[in-house]
Amino acid sequence: YYVRGNHSNLVEHTSSGPKTHPHGATDLHRRVINRHGMIITGVEGSLRYRQGPFQYTQTEMWLHVLRIAPRLLWNRALYGRYLDIFVSHAPPWGIHDQPDLPHQGIKAFRWLLETIKPRYHFHGHIHVYRQDTQTVTQYLSTTVINTYGCRETQVEPFNRSSTSPGFQRGVGNHKVTKD
């Protein structure tokens, strides 16, 4: 699974020819996927700070999030929860973000964490240059993880009796990686 970032190209030119997406990967941008009992969605890009692809205004980011909202409501009715994992390139507003425009967080993502309450939010975009930089933050019931570079995380399924948002189905561990 992946979402594109502000430095992504529409087409990558490789020795085997042009590619529009990573081999074998699924673009999560504005798609809601239930895979092995794990509900995942994502939003690409960062705030617009110059002309280029995969850059959006705060308003456009709200529109991306609102576009997936009906599917999330449907998940709540079918599975008893809205979402397990939210993947984005940019961080949520006020968590792992920075004050300069290119690295500000997304207000719609903060709303999603407060309202939809996914178990995890994986994001990139914020480069980590120091070992003491905070890259994992618990915000309400969501663990927010900056995956700059690469990170592998074990995601344990929830049991059916849990009242927290999370997994109701699925067996074993689910590995989620994003760079």
Q: Is the pLDDT of residue 166 over 50?
A: no
Beta bridge partners of 163: none
Candidate CATH numbers 3.90.1150.10, 3.30.70.270, 3.30.750.180, 3.40.50.970; the one for domain 12-178: 3.30.750.180
Overall average pLDDT of the 90-107 stretch: 95
So where are the chain's domains? 12-178
pLDDT band at 158 (very low <50, low <70, confident <90, very high): low
> 109-137 burial, b if ≥16 CB within 10 A, otherwise e?
bbebbeebbbbbbbbbbbeeeeeeeeeeb
pLDDT tens profile 8-39: 877 777 788 887 777 778 999 999 999 888 99
Q: Which amino acid is at 35?
A: R
The span from the CA of 90 to the CA of 22, in Å, is 19
- List pLDDT tens digits, range 115-149: 999 999 999 998 888 888 899 999 999 999 999 98
Looking at residue 163, what is its pLDDT?
Answer: 43
